[in-house]
Structure 1
Amino acid sequence: MRNRRMASLAAGTATLALVLSGCSLGDKPDDFDRPPEASDTELKAADTSDLQMPLIVEPLESVEPDWDLPVQAAGSVFLSAHTGEDTLEYSAVDTKGTELWRAKRPSGCTGFAVTADGDTDMAVLTDSETSTDCDEDVTATAYDLTTGKKVWGPVGVPGSLCGPGTVFAPEDASPEEAAALDPATGKPVEGADGVRHLGEYQGLILDVIDGKLVATEDGATRWELSLSDNGWDADSLAPFAGSVTGEGFIHLDAGDGVGPVIDRESGDLLDDDARGVARDANTEAVVTVGKAGITVIDDLGRNELPVSVAESVQLEAAAGGLLYLREGAKLRVHNATTGALARGYKAGGSGVVAIPDILTTEGLGTLHAGDRTLLATDRVVEEESGEG
Structure 2
Amino acid sequence: MQQRRNTAYSPGWLAGLALAGLLTLSACGNTDEQTLPQYDPAPSVLETPAPEVDRQTFRLPLQFTDPPVVDPGWQTPPQYGDGVFLSAEHAEDVLTFRAVDSSGTLLWEADRPLSCTGFTITSHDDLHYAVLTDIDAEVQSLGNTVASAYDLHTGELAWGPIDVPGPHNGPGTVFAAPTEQAMGASDAKVVLDPASGDIIVNEREHKVKVLGEFHGTVLTVDAQAIQAHRAADLATGGLEAEPLWTVPLEDHGWTAENLTARSPVGLPDPSEAATSPAVLLGTDDTDRALVDLTSAEVLAEGLSDAGQDPTSQSWVMLGETLTGYGPTGQILYDEPNDGLEVRGIGAAMAYLENSDGDLEARNVVTGQIGRAYDPDDTGTLAVPTGITATGAGILEAEGRYYLATVPTVEQPEPEEP
Which category describes the TM-score, using the shorter chain as reference length?
A: 0.7 to 0.9
Q: Secondary structure at the match of 1:235?
A: helix
Q: Does 1:319 align with 2:358?
A: no
**Aligned twin of 2:103:** 96
The 5 A counterparts of 1:230-269 are 230-240=252-262, 246=269, 248-269=277-298
Change (3 A) 1:66 1:333: same
> What corresponds to 2:405 in structure 1?
377
Verify: 1:54 aligned to 2:61, yes or no.
Answer: yes
SS of match in other structure, 1:307: strand
Q: For each residue in 1:28-66, what CA deviation from the matched residue of structure 2 results, as whole angstroms up to 9, or x when unmatched? A: 322432210101111232112122212222210110111
1:145-192, CA deviations, whole angstroms, 9 ceiling, x for partnerless residues?
000000100011111101000001111376671111111110011466
1:250-281 CA-partner distances (Å, limit 9, x unpaired): 12242254311111222211122211111212
Note the 1:180-259 alignment, pairs <5 A: 180-190=191-201, 193-217=206-230, 218-219=232-233, 220-240=242-262, 246=269, 248-259=277-288
Q: How far off its partner does 1:343 sit?
A: 1.5
Please tell me whether residue 348 in structure 1 is matched to residue 355 in structure 2: no
**Aligned 8 A contact 2:289 2:303 in 1:** yes
One-letter identity of the residue aligned with 1:260: A
Q: Is 2:323 aligned against 1:305?
A: no
Task: Provide the residue aligned with 1:72 in structure 2.
Answer: 79
8 A contact 1:126–1:139 mirrored in 2: yes
Name the structure 2 match of 1:290.
Answer: 319
| TM-score normalised according to structure 2 size | 0.79
**Higher helix proportion (structure 1 or 2):** 2
Moved more, 186-195 or 316-325: 186-195
- Aligned counterparts of 2:340 and 2:284: Cα–Cα separation in 1: 18
| Partner in structure 1 of residue 274 of structure 2 | none
- What is the rounded CA distance, in whole Å, between the counterparts of 1:93 and 1:224 in structure 2? 38
| Matches for 1:33-48 after TM superposition, within 5 Å | 33-48=40-55
CA contact (8 A) 2:116 2:134 kept: yes
In the aligned structure 2, how far is the partner of 1:287 from the partner of 1:263?
A: 15
Residue type of the alignment partner of 2:330:
R
1:275 to 290, 304, 318: 304
CA distance in 1, matches of 2:201, 2:329: 38
Summarize the Cα distance change of 1:358–1:339 in structure 2 as closer, same or farther, 3 Å threshold. closer
- Which is bigger in relative contact order (C-alpha 8 A, separation at least 6)? 1
1:88–1:106 contact (8 Å) kept in structure 2: yes
Distance 1:304 1:294, change over 3 A: farther
Gaps of 5+ in 2: 1-29, 234-241, 271-276, 409-417
Matching residue's letter, 2:192: L
1:57–1:364: 8 Å Cα contact kept in structure 2? no
How many aligned positions are there? 353
- Distance in 2 (alpha carbons) for counterparts of 1:187 and 1:300: 37
1:323-375: CA deviation from partner (whole Å, max 9, x where unpaired): 21112421111222222211122243333222212322111121112223110
1:234 partner amino acid: A
What's the Cα RMSD here? 2.6
Q: Given that residues 150 and 159 in structure 2 are in contact (C-alpha distance below 8 angstroms), is that contact kept between their aligned partners in structure 1?
A: yes
Does residue 127 (structure 1) correspond to residue 102 (structure 2)? The answer is no
Is this contact kept in 2: 1:56–1:363, CA < 8 A? Answer: no
Match of 1:111 in 2: 118
- The letter for the 2-side match of 1:324 is Y
Is the deviation greater in 43-52 or in 74-83? 43-52
Identity of aligned residues (%): 31
Distance, in Å, in 1 between the alignment partners of 2:292 and 2:143 is 36
Please give the alpha-carbon distance, in whole angstroms, between the structure 2 residues aligned to 1:87 and 1:242.
30
Code of the residue aligned with 1:225 in structure 2: it is V
Which residue identity is paired with 2:307? A
2:52 partner amino acid: A
Residue of 133, 145, 167 corresponding to 1:138: 145
Alpha-carbon offset, residue 240 of structure 1: 4.3
C-alpha distance in 2 between matches for 1:242 and 1:156: 30
Give the Å deviation of 1:304: 5.6
1:49 aligns to what SS in structure 2?
helix
* Change in CA separation of 1:306 and 1:288 when aligned onto 2, cut-off 3 Å: closer
The answer as to whether partners of 2:325 and 2:333 remain within 8 angstroms in 1 is: no
Q: Residues 325 and 270 from structure 1, CA distance in 2 versus in 1: closer, same or farther, beyond 3 angstroms? A: same
Output the CA distance in 1 between the equivalents of 2:297 and 2:399: 37
